[in-house]
């Protein structure tokens, strides 16, 4: 390997490691996470759920609400959580339908 090629390889390795994904507590790439990432977004939660959603009309959020209604229960309202209240969703999982999938599809 010539010194120039060696330097080039080292530079490439350095760049690759600095771009390695860091995972946030929601098991998302930190930069992509709508809660703790670089561009925090409003997310939606239902009182009784354990997940958070990017869309208020997420099918899985709506389905959860309908299920409660069918059982004759009272649905808890869907709450929008802005970045100031991010601690509210700190221990919730990202919804597989509207949070995780869109992130994966983008790649």
Q: For binding to Zn ion (CB under 5 A), which residues are involved?
A: 24, 26, 33, 35-36, 53, 58, 60, 95, 97-98
Dihedral sign, Cα of residue 57, residue 58, residue 64, residue 67: positive
Hey, what's the torsion of the CAs at 78, 85, 30, 60, to 10 degrees?
-10
- Residue 15: CB minimum distance to Zn ion, A: 25
Contact 67, 59 (CB under 8 A): no
Contact 35, 90 (CB under 8 A): yes
- Residue 9: CB minimum distance to Zn ion, A: 34
Q: What's the residue count for the chain?
A: 107
Extended strands (E) in 22-107: 43-46, 51-52, 78-81, 93-94
Q: Which is nearer to Zn ion, 2 or 39 (CB)?
A: 39
Q: Which is nearer to Zn ion, 35 or 78 (CB)?
A: 35
- Residue 72: CB minimum distance to Zn ion, A: 24
- Residue 71: CB minimum distance to Zn ion, A: 20
Q: Which is nearer to Zn ion, 53 or 78 (CB)?
A: 53
Q: Which is nearer to Zn ion, 8 or 41 (CB)?
A: 41
């Amino acid at each position: 390997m010539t010194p120039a090629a060696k330097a080039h390889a080292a530079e490439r390795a350095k760049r690759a490691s600095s771009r390695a994904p860091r995972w946030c507590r929601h098991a998302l790439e930190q930069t992509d996470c709508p809660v703790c990432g670089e561009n925090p977004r409003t997310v939606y939660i239902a009182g009784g759920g354990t997940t958070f959603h990017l869309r208020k009309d997420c099918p899985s959020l709506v389905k959860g609400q309908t299920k409660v209604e069918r059982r004759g229960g009272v649905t808890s309202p869907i709450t929008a959580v802005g970045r100031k209240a991010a601690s509210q969703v700190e221990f919730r999982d990202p919804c597989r339908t509207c949070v995780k999938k869109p992130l994966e599809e983008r790649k």
